[in-house]
Amino acid sequence: MTRYIRHAAAFCALLLVALLANASRIQVVQAPAYDDNPANRRQDIARYSQPRGDILVDGRPVTGSKDTGEQLRYERTYDNGPLYAPVTGFVSQRYGSSFLEDTEDGTLAGTDPMLSPFPLWNDFTRARSPGGDVVTTLDGAAQRAAYEGLADRKGAVAALEPATGRVLALVSTPSYHPETLSGNAPSVTRSWLELQQDPDKPMLNRAVRQTYPPGSTFKVLTAAAALDAGVIRNVDARTRSPDPYTLPGTRTTLRNTARNCRNASLRVAFEWSCNTVFAKLGVDVGVTGMAATAQAFGFNDAGLRIPFAVSASTFDTTVDRAQLALSSIGQYNTRATPLQMAMVAAAVANGGQLRQPYLVERTTTHRGATVASAGGRPVRQTMYPSTARRLRELMRDVVEHGTGANAAIRGTTVGGKTGTAQHGIGNAGTPYAWFVGWAQPAGDPVPKVAVAVVVEDSNAHRGDISGGGLAAPLARAVMTAALGP
């Protein structure tokens, strides 16, 4: 019997070994996969178990957290939700997160290892640091001015500080209230579905995720390319531009809304936005030169992060001469985000040096100690400094006695370019009113703010829609606010 008892004991030992081996399999080998299973709520619970860090504008939080006492304990709240939604994005217990809430999640949720007191400390203790704060570059006054200026119209505003690349305003309308997506209540699902199905697309961030035909505002770029390439040596010399202009290799003729465009000098053509002159200039520069300049400004770059991704603005490089002519006046396949056009204005304002835009000034621990700073941003020379100087002059003329008069600010040098972009088949769609510009207070060595405004307004009469009429006053309000008292 002794032998059989030992056999039975060995059998029990085998059961034990099986249990231990299986426990190791689950708790060590499979653990990462199980932890990351979307149905496993542990990560969500941990994430919402503490108040989320805040996003700051002008040193004041524009976000908050409220304790619900539920399993996913803390929910996000927003002050002025719709105003800052294009920047903060939303954070939802059901639908994930977007924009700063998404890209800065490590800081806000306290998972960033930089927040822990010692390296690997949190890994060892399994603790979570309190959520850190994200200090933005936004100028609250400029943001408010842009939002109130757009009012109930569809559109977007992007404003930059040319010398640094700091984003001063980023507005998209119609907007939405991100707080309606916080939490877990049935109302969250309802809000989500409503927002998704809304034909006005309130959750679309038009400032960075929507590309528009830039229309005449693109002529800043065409002028820069022509000056850089030496196609134009003197902005006051007459060009050889017929009016109307027949697109090369076609029978299509291009006309102007303005008069006296025939053989107009660059200065006059820029002031009155002559399509014929700039279309021909683009053809004269050639596709290589035009594409090089466009790409220097950031077109065709899908990699821009501010820190969230910005949709690529496009300049088609596989075009024949007729298409190039249209591309050079901001039509055909040329499309740009409002932020991209603000970058163009900022590059002109900053002597041709384009600072990459950024939104996060620094991240801090919950006590306010700096964790990471933006530091110096990469800089790119987009054109010769002399070209930038001449372009500033041309843009100033537009505001002083051209189509952009509505953007003028007393006591401040303002430059700009208006645009009206047609779109849709046979231009049936509502045109977009554009304005890009910059402002330089007296006594400042360089412009302090660059701005791009786009407004699409189906309520207005088509005739009223022009960059000068709709977008320029708004740009003026934003620049005035950004320059501050």
User: Where does this chain bind another protein (CB under 8 A)?
Assistant: 1-13, 15-16, 18-20, 22-24, 26-28, 30-31, 33-35, 37-42, 45, 126
- First-to-last alpha carbon distance for the chain, in angstroms, is 100
Contact 218, 234 (CB under 8 A): no
Residue with tokens 């703010």: 449
Structure tokens of 89?
């994005």
Q: Find out whether 299 and 314 touch, Cβ atoms under 8 Å.
A: yes
Burial of 186 (0-12, 13-18, 19+ CB in 10 A): exposed
One-letter amino acid for residue 130 of the chain: P
- 18 or 372, CB closer to another protein? 18
The span from the CA of 274 to the CA of 157, in Å, is 25
Closest separation in Å from C-beta 155 to another protein:
40
The least distance separating another protein from the CB of residue 13, rounded to whole angstroms, comes to: 4
149 SS3 class: helix
Task: Give least dist CB 70 to another protein, A.
Answer: 13
Task: Select 2 or 459, whichever has its Cβ closest to another protein.
Answer: 2
What is the rounded distance in angstroms from the CA atom of residue 381 to the CA atom of residue 379? 7
In the complex with another protein, the residue whose CB is nearer, 93 or 466, is 93
CB of 94 to another protein, least distance (A): 14
| Least separation in angstroms between CB 203 and another protein | 25
Other beta carbons less than 10 A from residue 230's beta carbon? 9
Token pair in block for residue 62: 């524009």
For another protein, the closer CB: 40 or 234: 40
Cα 118 to Cα 256: distance, rounded to the nearest angstrom: 66
The H or E element that residue 114 is part of is none
216 a catalytic residue: yes
Residue indicated by tokens 């207005």: 460
CB closer to another protein out of 39 and 369:
39
Strand runs labelled E in 150-227:
154-160, 167-173
> What would the two tokens of residue 477 be?
């309000």
Please pick, among 98, 129, 216, 327, the residue that the annotation labels catalytic.
216
CB atoms within 10 A of CB 482: 23
- Minimum CB–partner distance for residue 64 and another protein (Å): 25
Q: Which of 159, 168, 285, 157 is nearest to 222 (CA)?
A: 285
Most distant CA pair in the chain, distance: 117
Task: Identify whether the C-beta of residue 102 lies closer than 8 Å to the C-beta of residue 305.
Answer: no
Between the CA of residue 118 and those of 121, 122, 371, what are the distances in Å?
Answer: 5, 8, 13
Closest contact distance (angstroms) between CB of 414 and another protein is 58
- Residue 14 vs 193, nearer CB to another protein: 14
Closest to another protein by CB, 6 vs 462, is 6
Enumerate the active-site residues.
216
